[in-house]
Amino acid sequence: MPGGTGLELLRFTKEIAPDSFFLLMTALPDLDTAVDALNSGADRFVIKDHNYVEQLRRAVRRGIREPEVEEGGRVPVGGSCGV
């Protein structure tokens, strides 16, 4: 991403809009990056591989369907990548 990283954009976005849904997608699968993204507030982490289009569809559908559990709160995200 020119001018910055997806993790930087994620952190900035969560500072100004903490309840926003954020999906991070990468072509470079790295466990440390995935953990960092989820710990920084990413709702979903999708790896671009042979099946990334379907993973992206599922992640967006789940993001749209996630109910709020309490005012300002979100349903906790599972720890798996690519869903």
- pLDDT-above-90 percentage for the chain: 20
The domain ranges of the chain are 6-65
Identify the CATH number of the domain defined by range 6-65.
Answer: 3.40.50.2300
- Please spell the DSSP secondary structure of 20-69, one letter per residue: S--EEEESS--HHHHHHHHHTT-SEEEE-STTHHHHHHHHHHHHHHPPPS
- Report the mean per-residue pLDDT for the chain: 78
CA nearest neighbour of 83 among 39, 27, 34, 45 = 45
pTM: 0.63
Tens digit of each residue's pLDDT (9 = 90 or more) over 46-81: 888 888 888 888 888 887 776 554 445 554 444 344
